Amino acid sequence: MPTHNQATNTVDRHETARILDAEIHEDALTVHLEDGRSVTTPLEWYPRLAFATSEERQKFEIAGRGRGLHWPMLDEDLSVKGMLSGTPSAEGPRSLKGWKEALKERRRLRAEGEEPPPWGTGKYRIPYSAFLDDDPNE
């Protein structure tokens, strides 16, 4: 059984972990940390990444001085702390449905040569009603 000091040390290592680089494959995300560790998590933990195209997944930024990853094209952020603790996305089906509608519109705009406005802004903002699910089984 871990002692209090061992548990505290694990929490401290999660809090101070910093990403140096990341690799995204068809079914997994691997982050390489400053302390030499590499952590791999399944993409199915992150529905936005699983739903994205390979091109969209590859356009990420290391954010927060290495504390996380950000996908500007997908409005997705992941923390190294969450990856280390084995925490998958908690996004619900209603939210994901609205996000998919917004992404579809953003893809259409890009295909037409127009750069979409920042997420949640502009004339192409997806109304809240799009996030509501009439069919709970969908």
- pLDDT tens profile 21-31: 999 999 999 99
Q: Which fold has domain 4-85?
A: NE0471 N-terminal domain-like (3.30.2020)
Strand partners for 33: 19
pLDDT score of 27: 95
Closest to 43 in 3D by CA, of 3, 66, 74: 74
Residue intervals in the chain for CATH 3.30.2020.40 = 4-85
In angstroms, the CA 19 to CA 22 distance is: 7
Q: What is the pLDDT along the chain (138 residues), one digit of tens a residue?
A: 555 554 445 445 556 799 999 999 999 999 999 999 999 999 999 999 999 999 999 999 999 999 999 999 999 999 999 999 999 999 999 889 989 989 999 999 999 999 988 887 765 565 656 555 555 454
The Cα–Cα gap between 94 and 100 comes to: 10
Cα separation, 125 vs 37, in Å, equals: 40
Burial class of residue 49 (count of CB atoms within 10 Å of its CB; 0-12, 13-18, 19+): buried
